Amino acid sequence: MEKKYANLLVDYCLEIKKGDMVFVQSTPLASPLLKEFFRIATRRGAWVEFDLRIEEQERIFFEEADQDLIELISPTQKYRFAHFNKYLHIRAPYNLAENKSIPGEKLKQRGEASKEINQLYFERTADGSMDRSLCEYPTQAAAQNAGMSLEEYRKFVFEACRLYEDAPVKAWQQVREKQQIYTDYLNQCETIHYKGPHIDLRFSSKGRIWINSDGRANMPSGEVFTAPVEDSVEGTVYYTYPAIYRGQEVSGISLRFEKGYITEWSAEKGQEVLDEVFQIPGSRRLGEAAIGTNYRIRQMTRNILFDEKIGGTVHLAIGQSYKQNNGKNNSAIHWDMITDMTQDSRIIADGKTIYENGYFTL
């Protein structure tokens, strides 16, 4: 299965060709996939470099590093993000609770120091000079986090990525074609209304771009998304799914928007986390509005790469918006939060209902 996965990443997600400079971040736990990826990408004539994080590397760094090191950014990392034209991040975690013990102030300082690289990342992915893809390799930690055995989780990940298809690349091309119909329609609209038992939210997408997330930037994918006009968001939302922030669960989140700004917020669990997040500059505006369309993902796994794509949901991310959507909000955070749209729910675009009870009607 790793060979099919690697072929999908090389030939569909990143479309690697001769002369490409490819930068891969992961952990040694993903070695079976990394070997196949390296083999196929090298065969295509690309140069591949790896950045492999060892177990507990981040915890040890923050435990031992002085202030100078916390504020230092690797010149190698900076060069790669500035000059390589392909970037692949394969998540393969050892321990998803590793960051819980790291003081928030140190994480904040590191985040501030990383702004230059983050800016490079957003600019180059927006202007098309760097293609990127994010995916998951199944590990015991991720399986336990999802409440599954490792074998169950492997099947879940591979099914969500359509790797059991005879031709996964062709299968994702078909997803692209279908979702392009929704994307093209939404790009002709200016006012969007999410309406249901858990949400009554309106925003403008005038001058913004809806994007077809078809498995290239994220694998798996299955969503269409935009960046709402920052001061246009009005209404309320209750997120039916828990949101995970640095390994901490925050559930029962309710938000109220007025003129694009979050004026009220509450959580049934994790209120203190929510209070902390909303002190971050730019966090009290929406950076993304999206509609999940991957009906092969049927349950929450506490992994946003999969959870935000659940068919029949929408997610609204606070904080940083994507330049690809013409978004203008800047923040050190981009936090996706998900709510169900399968019961008595609809999406109305320029006065026309285009989505009902979890499915597009176009």
My answer on whether 292 and 235 are in the same domain is: yes
What is the structure's pLDDT at 58? 87
Over residues 205-256, the pLDDT tens digits come to: 999 999 999 999 999 999 999 999 999 999 999 999 999 887 789 999 999 9
What is the structure's pLDDT at 107? 80
For range 7-24, the mean pLDDT: 97
What is the structure's pLDDT at 241? 94
My answer on whether 208 and 98 are in the same domain is: no
My answer on whether 221 and 86 are in the same domain is: no
My answer on whether 185 and 290 are in the same domain is: yes
Residue 299 has pLDDT above 90, yes or no: no
Close Cβ partners of 31 (under 8 Å, ≥ 6 residues apart)? none
Concatenated DSSP letters of 54-101: PTTHHHHHHHH--HHHHT---HHHHHHHHH-SEEEEEE--S-TTGGGG
Number of domains in the chain: 2
My answer on whether 125 and 239 are in the same domain is: no
> In terms of residue numbers, what domain contains 106?
2-137
In a domain, 158, yes or no: no
Residue 74, domain CATH: 3.40.1830.10
Residue 101 has pLDDT above 90, yes or no: no
Mean pLDDT of the chain: 94
In a domain, 295, yes or no: yes
Whole-prediction pTM: 0.85
My answer on whether 119 and 188 are in the same domain is: no
Close Cβ partners of 126 (under 8 Å, ≥ 6 residues apart)? 322, 323, 324
For range 257-284, the mean pLDDT: 95
Q: How confident is the model at residue 111 (pLDDT cuts 50, 70, 90)?
A: confident
